Amino acid sequence: MIHLSRASALAAVLGGALMLQGCVVGAVVGTAGAVVGTGAKVVGGVAGAGIDAVTTSDEETRARRERQQRDWEREQRRCRQREAQGKRC
C-alpha cells in the first residue's frame, strides 16, 4: 500500500473537494484532518463517497419531478378556487 505524505494527501483531498458541490464540500474539507497521513486508498474512498453523495439517480430525478408536478397542480387548484371567489391569484 502506497502512503502519501501529509502535504500530498491534503492536496488530493482539497483538490477533490473543489470538484464537489454544496455542503458535501464542507464535509470533505472538515474530514481532511482525518484523511491526511493515510493511504491513497482511503483518499480515493472519501472522494468516491463524495461523488456518490452529489450525483442524482434516475429514480430520485423522477421522484423530484413528480413532486414538483403535484405542487404545481395544487397551486393551480388553489388559484382556480381563489378566482371562483372573485379574488386574484
Segment 7-63, tens digit of pLDDT: 777 777 767 666 665 554 455 556 655 555 555 555 555 666 666 677 889 999 999
Whole-Å CA distances, 76 to 55, 80, 82, 86: 31, 6, 10, 15
Whether the predicted pLDDT of 68 surpasses 70: yes
In the chain, where are the structural domains located? Answer: 1-55, 56-89
